[in-house]
Structure 1
C-alpha cells in the first residue's frame, strides 16, 4: 500500500453527515464544504422556468426591478 501524499492527507474533509451522525470523511471539493458524492460538483438549481419548482415570475429579479422603477416614477409624478 502506498502512503497518502501530505496534500491529500491535510485536505479539508467533507462536512456531510450520515444517519449515525458521523461525517463522510472524504476530501472536500476545493472551495466547497462537501465531497463530489454529496453535491460538491453541483452548480445549483437552474434559474427561472427551467427549475421544476417555478410557479410564476412575481418575485423574480426582473419583476422586482420593474416594480421599483414604476414606484419611483409614480413617486416623481405625485411629487411634481
Structure 2
C-alpha cells in the first residue's frame, strides 16, 4: 500500500539559509544545514579538520604535548646539573 504523504514535505518546511547577497540584498533560498543558520554553500560545517586529519599538518613537532615534554625534560636537566655542581665543590 502506497502512502499519500509527500516525502519532500519535510524538506520544503526546512529552515532557510540566512545569508544575503551583497549587491541585491536578497536571501539565499537553500535549506540551512541542521544545527546551522546557513547552507553548506555559505559555510555550514566548514573549516579544516584539526591535527593529523588536516592535510597541511606536517609532524606536530610544536604541539602542546611535545612542548610540555620538552619543558619537563629541561626542568629535570636543571635539577641534575644543580646536583652535579654541588658534588663538584
Please give the TM-score of this superposition, normalised by the length of structure 1. Answer: 0.44
Bigger-Rg structure (1/2): 2
Please give the TM-score of this superposition, normalised by the length of structure 2. Answer: 0.41
